[in-house]
A = this chain, B = another copy of it.
Amino acid sequence: MNGAESLVRTLVGAGVDTCFANPGTSEMHFVSALDRVDGMRSILVLHETVATGAADGYWRMADRPAANLLHLGPGLANGLSNIHNARKAASGMLNIIGEHASWHLKYDAPLASDIEGIARPLSDWVKTSLGSQAIGADAAQAVIEARQSRIASLILPGDTAWEEGGAVADALAMPTVAGFDEKSIEAAVRALRSGESTMLIIGGRAIRGKALEIAGRIAGKTGAVLATQFFSSRIERGAGRVPTFRIPYFVDSALGALKDFKHIVTIETKEPVSFFAYPNKPSQIKAEGTQVHQVCNPGGDGLAALEALAEAVGAKASDAPHQERTETALPSGALNQQTIAHILSALIPENAIVVDESVTTGRESFGLTAGAAPHDWLQNMGGSIGFGLPVATGAAIGAPGRRVISLSGDGCAMYTLQSLWTQAREGLDVTTLVFSNRAYQILRVEFAGVGAGAPGEKASAMMTLDNPPLDFLALARGLGVPGTRVSDCGELIAALKRVLRQPGPHLIDVTL
Contact = CB atoms under 8 A, between A and B. Distances in A.
A485 interface: no
Contact of A470 (B21, B25, B442, B478): B478
A450 B103 contact: no
Contacts of A450: 25, 28-29, 158, 162
Given A25-B450, A28-B446, 5 more contacts: A25-B449, A44-B461, A75-B384, A469-B480, A472-B478
Contacts of A477: 471, 474
Interface residues on A, range: 35 or more
Contacts of A472: 478
Nearest to A25: B446
A469 to B, nearest CB: 7
Interface in A15-58: 21, 23-26, 28-29, 31-32, 34-36, 42, 44, 46-47, 49
Nearest to A116: B121
A103 B284 CA distance: 11
Contacts of A88: 110
Nearest to A44: B462
A107 B31 contact: no
Given A104-B274, A277-B101, A478 B475 contact: yes
B77 A77 contact: yes
Interface string A472-510: 111111111000000000000000000000000000000
A42 B457 CA distance: 12
A284 B468 CA distance: 48
Nearest to A411: B46
Given A32-B459, A468-B421, A468-B424, A383 B479 contact: no
A100 interface: yes
A448 to B, nearest CB: 9
A174 interface: no
B480 A118 contact: no
Contacts of A26: 276
A463 B270 CA distance: 43
Contact of A113 (B84, B103, B456): B84
B32 A452 contact: yes
27 contacts: A25-B449, A28-B443, A28-B450, A31-B455, A31-B458, A32-B456, A35-B455, A35-B457, A35-B458, A42-B458, A42-B461, A42-B462, A47-B415, A49-B78, A77-B80, A78-B78, A78-B384, A100-B277, A104-B277, A107-B273, A107-B283, A110-B275, A110-B383, A159-B279, A421-B468, A471-B479, A478-B478
